[in-house]
Amino acid sequence: MQALQIFLQNWIYLIGAMAIFGIGLYITLTNENIFKIIVGLDIIESGTNLFMTAIAWHPKAVMPIYTATNQLVVNGKVVSADPLPQSLVLTAIVIGLGTTALALTIAVKIFEKYGTLDVRKIKEAKR
Amino acid sequence: MRNDTPALVKRITALSLITILLIGFFLAFKEMPKGSAVNVNQRVSRLYVMKNVETATKMMENGKFFAKGIKPLRTDVPYTPITFGKSKNLEDGAANVVTSIVVDYRGFDTLGEVTVLFLAATGVAMLLFGKEKKRKNKTEPSLIMYVGTRISFAIIFLFGIYIFVHGHLTPGGGFPGGAVIASGILGLFLGKNGYKPNHLGLKVFESLSGMAFVIIGLTGLFSVHSFLANFLPTGVIGDLYSAGFIGLIYIAIGMKVGAELSAVVNSMIVDVEEEWS
Amino acid sequence: MNIFNNAALLIGVPLLFAFSIPLFGLISKELAKWVTLLTIGFNASFSFYILFAHKYPTMVVMGNWLPPFGENLYIGPVAAFLVFVISMIGLLIAIYNLWAIKKGDVIRFSVLFLMFTAGASGIVLTGDIFNLFIFMEITGISSYALAAFGPERRALGGAFKFLVVSSIGSTLYLMGVTLIYTQLGTLNIAEIAARINQTTPGLLTFAGILIISGLAVEAELFPFNGWVPDTYTGAINGVSASLSGIAAISAVYALFRIAMTVFGKSGGAYVSTYGKIDLMALIALLATATVIIGELSALSQKNVKKMLAYSSMAQMGLIAVGFSIGNKLGVYGGIFQLVNHSIAKSMLFLIVGVLVAVGVGENIDDFKGLWKRNPFLTLTFSIGAFSMLGFPLFGGFWSKFSIVAASVQRGGWYDFIIGLVLFASVVEAFYYLRIVAYMFASDVELPKVKTPITPAIPIFILAVSIVAIGIFPQIVGTFSAQAAGELTHKMSGYILHVIPSIAAH
Amino acid sequence: MIFLKLLEGIGVGLLSLTVGLLFMGLARKITARIQRRYGPPVLQNFIDVFKLFSKQSISHGFAFDLGLVAGVSALLAAVVFLPMGQINLFPHNSSLIMIIYLMTMAYLGMAMGVSSSGNPNATIGVARALTMMMGYELPFAAVIFSVYIFAKTGSLTNIVAAQGGGFLNWNMVRLPFGFLAAEIALQGMLGEKPFDMAIAPAEIASGPMVELGGKYLGFGMLQHAVGIYLETGIMVDLFLGGASNIWIFVTKQFELFFIALLINAVLPRFKIEDGVKFMWKVPLLLGVIQALIVVL
Amino acid sequence: MNSNIIWLVFTPLIGSAIAAILYRVKFLDRLVTFSTFAITLLLLFSVHVGQSYTFNLNFMGKIIPLSWNVTHLSIFMLYISVAFGTLLTFYSLMDKSRMKGFLLLLILAANNWIFTTNDMVGFFFAWELMGWASIVSVLGGRDENSSRHAALYYAMMSIAGSYSMFFGVFTLWKLTGSLSISTNVAYLSSIVGMHPWWVLGIVSLFFVTFMIKAGIFPFHTWVPMAYAYAPDTFTPFLSGVMSKYGIYGMLLFLPISLMEKGMPAAFGLPWVNYIFMWIGVTTAVVGTVLAFFQDDVKKLFAYSSFSNLGYIVAAISLFSSVGVTAGIYHAFNHLLFKGALFITLAAVISRTGTSKMSEMGGLWRKMPVTFFTFFIGIASAAGIPPFNGFGSKWLIYQAMIKQHLPFATVMLFLASTGAFMYLFKAFHSVFLGQRSARYDNVKEVPVVGQIVEYLLMFAMIFFGVQPGYILKPIGAIVSSMGLKPLPTMANGYVTGMFSNVYVPLISWSLAISFTVGFILFFISAKHKYVSQSDNYTAGQIPEEWNLTPETYQFSWKFYEPIEGIFAPFFRIKIDGFFRGLANWTAATSSAIKEIFVSNAQIYAFFAVAGLIIFVIAGWVA
């Protein structure tokens, strides 16, 4: 039990992140609907973000914000979660947002012009 | 793999590919420091948390930072204790370390991030550009909806401002704040059919706030000789008026993000006729 | 450590004006285009100043935090030269855009184009592995939007393909960066490069594979380049030109900065990488496959634009072959070819754009007898084609020359690779010469077409520069040689200029 | 000295003409006898030549004239280099290949002359002759080069000298396959049946000769006469060990010619492609065997 | 004063620039071309064997020595090529074809550079210059579509060749660090005993290039097209001079094979040489056989050129003193007679406007000077003494027999007989037989052309009768290659290994017998001239059969009977090999193109699959 707990503590977020990553990739690679593909891409990004957060965290970490009660440094050792990946995640989320917005716009335009959301049907008559 | 590959084949292939990829990941994870062994003290973040980068820089110039074999001893950087509400003149006065990294230590990233968002909004608007035909709401919202969104907009707006003003003290900052404001504006869209925000105002707001960010950066360049360098006093940790230019930048970012996301919502909600003639 | 913080203006000024272009746009659409032009012009002249008048290698420190703690821009020989090339080509395409972009949302197009160029410069300049990702996304998002711009619906299909593949690629890159961060706890390229051998080999290899795969999407290497033909064909010609002339430079730069500087082993006659497999060899294989597949696909195209797209792909492969040889001569050839390719290919796309606009068309049959209809465009197109196929006294010759020389110098299985590449070059020569022969056919009687003046200016300048490089290869050669020195000696070329104190040990 | 050589040369030319015409007359007589006819007198051909040269004739232009004159003259020019018994005018200049190429000039002249007449029968005849030439030159070349390698010399004089010392030293005995191949090739060279498709009178009205009349036909006959002399002479020098004097030489020539006549009298004509195919089967095989034997 | 070698290169370049400026005015263009050729010929008199000059090119900090070195071979080749070019350009003064003079001058510059340079960089550059200038020149033929096709084909072969040489140059440079040709050849000779395969590989890289340029057997397929569809006045240069660059290159590298210690021998030859000799023989035979059945007269002579180069290759591959002498001698002879033949063809085509033999005929009365030039040309080409083709063919046989190679010799002899056949076919179809009424108003070429034709006739007879003027310099070349030169006798002697030929004697003998013949002709009864259609038709008048001169002319399917014999060989098409390669490439191209006819998802699949392959590779490693 203890071993399982330690295992879960150590691995659960990484495993979860990878599972989300895999699910997103699967959706992207198998669904022909454009919107579903975009959703898949979004899920992949979520997986990546979770992965980055996970490597910043350890079971005994505290939040990286100085407050009156929250001690980030104990005996010269930092005990908080790693703030750097968190800030990177912040950036990555915004970038993902931008990509998604653009993708959705393109999808809307594609539906307008091709009249379909099936990726297989988005092609020109003459190759 | 072709355009007309059957779905089953695709699924099986995708599954096997993903399985192999995940196995690869897990094999790689086995070599990672595990769990509690995620040693922040050996990462560069330690210096950010301790607000100790300048000391490290001096050590580096003295040649003590990198040990033999170029192994950095980040643990060796001496530590000056920080007390909430008391410590002054820290190299970066923000209580929220993440914020201090986002805006100050790695502020350049954030500038890029703002640009990405700006570009995405621009791209969305560019692709959806055209002569306005009609709004997309099918049904007229009820009176409660109309009144409710208008009342809650003020509260949401205020909350958004609170979030990005306190970005350096609490979780949050310009991006969440801006998103909150944009959600308020989205409420306005929902509340009234044919709601038109002030396009010119949004555009000017967006541009000016973006320019404000760059101008703050350039001010740093011309006053402290480094782009995006803090040129304001850092104050006491935990005060609202602390952390130098972080607050200013977050205000700019918050306004910009709010305006941009509103513009995105506006663009997407409108049906247009293209002007390619 | 030589700090030149004012070079931050290379990024800052375009950003400032990008944010303000919507305001200028309120006054006039034309003004927006001119602001873009002038801003890129500023970048070009500033990088010209750095390249010729300022001492480099030098470094820009962001926010007064020295590397490896803060972010920095590193202006070595590579960056100084490539930024200049990117800005110059951006400037010329901006001139073309003055004429070409008349309809649609001109203002926002200008913003996107400006940031596209600035983002590409940022990729080349930056000294931080995560910042590289940001700039990749800046370039990426603006190029998705730019590629989707245009009256034709095929633009949207192409842009969507680009977006999907490229998003996956950037995710993979980010994963790789994260894996490296778990090991070394830093994001600075110089520090990672110095300490790369402190990581565990399995994880290092995996991270390297992820990063290379992610970057290979934009660098158009084989299994990652499915988007190339549709996107290039779909986009309007100015955008195709900038994709092949600007984005390609930065993508290849990023790929080999990571492979050679970050993962590379220092010392030894040829650069190889740490880890279980040699990433340089991996790239060489990909690149060879790319060359062959690209050239063979281009062979049977009837649409010139699509043909140019495939040719771009193949040329990127050739460039990557040059770099992946890993000695100074090979990298020299790679950079030289990079510059030649971006000059010639962007010129060819611009010419196709002009031809389509004046009503000639973009199919091979439309090119028949072009010499009689419009000698200027025919001549410039031929110059571009000859440079592409490595005709002596045109720019492309010197680079192909160096790449072949380098691979022969290296020997081993690179002899085999270069044999395949040369076979592919014969194919390439065939389809380019076929167009040239078509253009000079005299058995077609069609009305003459006029060349518009504005787009003729960049086309003329590009053509002249191809010939000039062909006759005086030193123009590019000196800089390429310096750049090759930087890329092949990661310690003395890069790390020590960024973090000099590493030298103490 | 030069005058002496000149006179000797003219003498050799006359000799070859005489012997050739004589052979032609004998040929007519012998063929007739084989066919149970009486046949013309042996000297009939001399009479014919004189008659033809005194008749008025029509010409098709200077190329026609030049061609026919060249046909005889080139062969006469070649004859002087042939060693025949004690008559050997230029012992250091008797390369066989040179003689063969000189003969080619005669063919060229003849072909040019008759073709310029514009009669397609003539041209067809020439084309057939040239095709047949390709047929027999291949085995003949194989034989020549075998002899060259065997004798280690390319000069007819030296080849003859190498065969000195009796019957057993003759190349006919030493190189039997080569001799057989050369015999068959000689049949083609002489244009005798079964290889006479070039002049097939019933099909193409005597082929090259169709437009010839008067002195032109006379030139044609003279060319044939010198041709017979030269070709049989080469064979004698190559295989029958030459001769010690001109009489023996002519006798040996006549022996070879007689065999050819006998074959001619009894065999029908090949089709042209069959002729070439035959030449490239049997004699070539023999020649190749001979060459292999010589080389190995 | 050694820098005058460089002027050999610069003078044509300057002339080319001037000519390019004047290019619109055809006559001025041609005039400048001719004068530049003439000036270059004069310049040649100041160049002597043994002169050398080195110019250190500073290329991006690296010193690249460009060196020139005049050897016996180079001066010989220079003289013959420039002299022939001068004649040709003089002829082209009055010509109407679309040959561009400045391109010819570029080729001249490359010509002088190739023949004098001693560094591989210069050699390569000159080679490229020559190749591309000639490719562009081919473009200006009468039939635009065909010439474009031909030029493209030629360009492909030539590019493949130059890449091969490129590769070879760099490999040698990597091995020795020197760019000098002589140094590298010496180096290769020194290691050939230790690493025969290495040397073979490197040398074959060069030889592929040379074989492509000379049009030797497996690489000959561009020859007929390019020769046939090139401008009529350019073809003589293409065939006469440009095919010899390949031979020159081979001669530069052949001395290596002298020292093969590690290689087994076949029939007294190193087996590589033996194979190469057979390649030459095959070339000769294949060219001959293909030439039989052509209807385009330029194509026929293109195959003839190809066949003759086979002779040269077969001869020089023996690398004996007779062989090399014979090869170089034949190269010279081929230049002369094939140049003369193509010039006369240019004259004929310019007057008749067609190159189809079945549409010509009976032109000899209208163009007598051209007719005689052509006659002497084919007599030379057939190797008839005393014209110039005889000596070299005779020497080639001598060389082959000396090596005890009867079969190869027989094949060459067959090729020679065949050559006589196709030459006569061309002769008959163009000049003899019935003349079509269309050509009743055809005139002889202008005086300029006639002068050139007279000069060529004179040259063909003179060098036939006095071979010593050529054999002496060739002797010097042969001895400079480390072989024993043939004994030189008086001018008229061709000295073989087995026997000698004294050509003046043959000439005298011919002269006397012709005199006798003509005396006989004139003293005999009179003759009268009749019209061309007045001939023996079994009592009928051709008009009654509705026969016109065109239908009465026999020039179609001239050698039909033997077509059946060669039919099995026609099924093996070398052309088909390259065409098949091209088709295969095109098919592969279409197949590969299919990769990119897909959707976003599939491309994502590709990317992930690529990643997976790497991951697996990472595990495996």
Q: Which residues, 6 or more positions from E278, have their beta carbon under 8 angstroms from its beta carbon?
A: E408
Give Cα separations from C279 to C179, C192, C207, C213, E281 (angstroms). 17, 16, 11, 11, 50
Most A CBs within 10 Å, among C160, C165, C297, C364, to test the A interface: C160
Most C CBs within 10 Å, among E13, E60, E137, E179, to test the C interface: E60
Which candidate from D6, D56, D138 shows the least CB-CB separation from E414?
D138
Total Cβ atoms within 10 A of residue D116 = 30
Residue D236 φ then ψ, to 5°: -60, -45
Chain E contact for D146 (CB, 8 A cutoff): yes
Which candidate from A9, A94, A109 shows the least CB-CB separation from B117?
A94
Residues of E near A (Cβ–Cβ under 8 Å) read: 597, 599-601, 604-605, 608
From chain D residues 2-31, the ones with a CB under 8 A of any chain E CB are 6, 9-10, 13
Place of tokens 């070079």: C7
Residue B69 to residue C144, Cβ atoms within 8 A: no
Total Cβ atoms within 10 A of residue C281 = 16
**Per residue of chain B (277 residues), what is the pLDDT tens digit?**
677 778 888 888 888 888 888 888 888 777 776 654 567 778 888 888 888 888 888 888 777 777 777 777 777 778 878 888 788 877 777 888 888 888 888 888 888 888 998 899 888 888 888 777 666 556 778 888 888 888 998 999 899 888 888 888 888 788 888 889 888 888 888 887 777 778 888 888 888 888 888 888 888 888 888 888 888 888 888 887 878 888 888 888 888 888 888 888 888 877 777 776 5
pLDDT digits (tens, 9 = 90+) for D218-270: 888 888 888 888 888 888 888 887 777 888 888 888 888 888 888 887 888 78
From chain B residues 225-264, the ones with a CB under 8 A of any chain C CB are 225-230
Domain ranges across chain A: 2-117
Chain E contact for C281 (CB, 8 A cutoff): no
Total Cβ atoms within 10 A of residue E393 = 28
| pLDDT for residue A43 is more than 90 | yes
The first and second tokens of residue B273, run together, are 């006729």
What are the b/e assignments for D136-171, b being 16+ CB within 10 Å? bbbbbbbbbbbbbbbbebbbbbbbbbbbeeeeeebb
Q: What integer pLDDT is reported at residue A64 of this predicted model?
A: 85
Q: Which amino acid is at E501?
A: V
Q: What integer pLDDT is reported at residue C42 of this predicted model?
A: 92
Q: Which residues, 6 or more positions from B163, have their beta carbon under 8 angstroms from its beta carbon?
A: B172, B173, B176, B177, B180, B254
Rounded Cα distance, E361 and E438, in Å: 11
Smallest CA–CA separation between D105 and chain E, in Å? 6
Residues above pLDDT 70, as percent of chain C: 99
B277 in Cβ contact with B131 (< 8 Å): no
| pLDDT for residue E331 is more than 80 | yes
Residue D119 to residue E385, Cβ atoms within 8 A: no
Q: What integer pLDDT is reported at residue E495 of this predicted model?
A: 66
| pLDDT for residue A127 is more than 50 | no
Chain E residues with CB-CB distance to A123 below 8 A: 597, 599
Q: What integer pLDDT is reported at residue C135 of this predicted model?
A: 92
Q: What integer pLDDT is reported at residue B34 of this predicted model?
A: 60
Chain C residues with CB-CB distance to E148 below 8 A: 437, 441
Chain A residues with CB-CB distance to E608 below 8 A: 25, 29
Most E CBs within 10 Å, among A27, A29, A34, A110, to test the E interface: A29
From chain A residues 9-38, the ones with a CB under 8 A of any chain C CB are 25, 28, 34, 37
How would you write E406-448 as a 3-class SS string? HHHHHHHHHHHHHHHHHHHHHHHHHHCCCCCHHHHHCCCCCHH
Query: Nearest Cα to E383, choosing from E450, E472, E288?
Result: E288
Residue C160 to residue A41, Cβ atoms within 8 A: no
Query: Which range marks the domain in which residue E608 is found?
Result: 577-620
Q: Which amino acid is at B179?
A: A
Q: Provide the residue count of chain C.
A: 505
D40 in Cβ contact with D28 (< 8 Å): yes
Q: What integer pLDDT is reported at residue B136 of this predicted model?
A: 59
pLDDT digits (tens, 9 = 90+) for C211-269: 988 899 888 888 888 888 888 988 888 899 999 889 988 999 999 989 888 888 877 77
Assess whether chains B and D touch, using the rule of 3 or more C-beta pairs within 8 angstroms: no
Smallest CA–CA separation between B54 and chain C, in Å? 8
Give Cα separations from C30 to B118, C26, C77, C95, E272 (angstroms). 21, 10, 36, 12, 72
Residue A37 to residue E600, Cβ atoms within 8 A: yes
Residue C210 to residue E611, Cβ atoms within 8 A: yes
Residue B127 to residue C151, Cβ atoms within 8 A: no
Assess whether chains C and B touch, using the rule of 3 or more C-beta pairs within 8 angstroms: yes
Chain A residues with CB-CB distance to C148 below 8 A: 106, 109
Provide the mean pLDDT of chain E: 81
pLDDT digits (tens, 9 = 90+) for C331-366: 888 999 999 999 999 999 999 988 888 888 888 888
Residue A94 to residue B113, Cβ atoms within 8 A: yes
Residues above pLDDT 70, as percent of chain D: 97
Please tell me which residue, B36 or D142, carries the higher pLDDT value.
D142
The answer to the question of residue E155 being in a domain is no
Q: What integer pLDDT is reported at residue B36 of this predicted model?
A: 47
Chain E residues with CB-CB distance to C401 below 8 A: 166
Among chain E residues, the shortest Cα distance to C229 is held by: E596
The SS3 assignment for A81 reads coil
Rounded Cα distance, D34 and D24, in Å: 15
pLDDT digits (tens, 9 = 90+) for A92-116: 998 998 999 999 988 888 888 888 8
Domain A2-117 has what CATH class? mainly alpha
Smallest CA–CA separation between C148 and chain B, in Å? 7
